[in-house]
Amino acid sequence: MFIMNPYLRHVRALLGVCAAAVLLSACVTTGHESLRASAARLNDASSHFSAQLQYQGDDSRRGLLSRDAEAMAKAAHNLDRALSKGNTRPEVEDEYRRVRDNYEQLHVQLADEGYAAQNRQVLTDFDLVTNAFRNVETAMGMRTASTR
């Protein structure tokens, strides 16, 4: 029969607790890193979308869409920066709400005006924004039934 030294029993218990803490920490970090990576992709996609609209020239409809795309890109950049700086959850949620509001406005504008149907590249670029937005939304735990 093997009898364990009380000191070794405490060390073993301490190592078990440390291992559990490391595993839990890895799970939390992975979720946060996933959100940061998603926010960085959204920042890139929305900046690209905004730049493409500005590059295509001016008409009144495109000008309004371009300004809204620029606001979306700025909001996505601010969200990415808030996550990179380690802002609090409420601060990050405020930045996320700005992104969501700008995204929804762009989505409605593209659908209402039929602009995307006239320009396949705009639709393709906005699909990248949509996919990145949905990844952020999922990582934030904010996915709703009304999401487009």
- Whether the pLDDT of residue 109 is over 90: the answer is no
pLDDT at 52: 85
Is 12 part of a structural domain of the chain?
yes
Is 64 part of a structural domain of the chain?
yes
Is 72 part of a structural domain of the chain?
yes
- Rounded Cα distance, 131 and 147, in Å: 12
Give the up-direction half-sphere exposure of residue 51: CA atoms within 13 A in the CB hemisphere.
Answer: 6
Domain interval for residue 108? 7-140
- The DSSP annotation for 90-131 comes to HHHHHHHHHHHHHHHHHHHHHHHHTHHHH-HHHHHHHHHHHH
Number of domains into which the chain is organized: 1
User: Which one, of 69, 127, 128, 121, lies nearest residue 99 by Cα?
Assistant: 69
User: Do residues 41 and 135 touch, judged by C-beta distance below 8 A?
Assistant: yes
pLDDT at 124: 86
Is 38 part of a structural domain of the chain?
yes
pLDDT at 115: 66
pLDDT at 137: 93
- Whether the pLDDT of residue 11 is over 80: the answer is no
pLDDT at 20: 38
For the domain that residue 20 is a member of, what is the CATH number? 1.20.120
Q: Which helix (H) or strand (E) holds 43?
A: helix 6-55
Is 145 part of a structural domain of the chain?
no
- Rounded Cα distance, 130 and 148, in Å: 9
Is 62 part of a structural domain of the chain?
yes
pLDDT at 98: 96
Is 1 part of a structural domain of the chain?
no
- Rounded Cα distance, 65 and 53, in Å: 8
Mean pLDDT confidence for 86-107? 94
Average pLDDT over the chain reads 77
Is 69 part of a structural domain of the chain?
yes
What's the token pair of residue 87? 């802002």
Q: If pLDDT is split at 50, 70 and 90, which confidence band does 101 have? A: very high
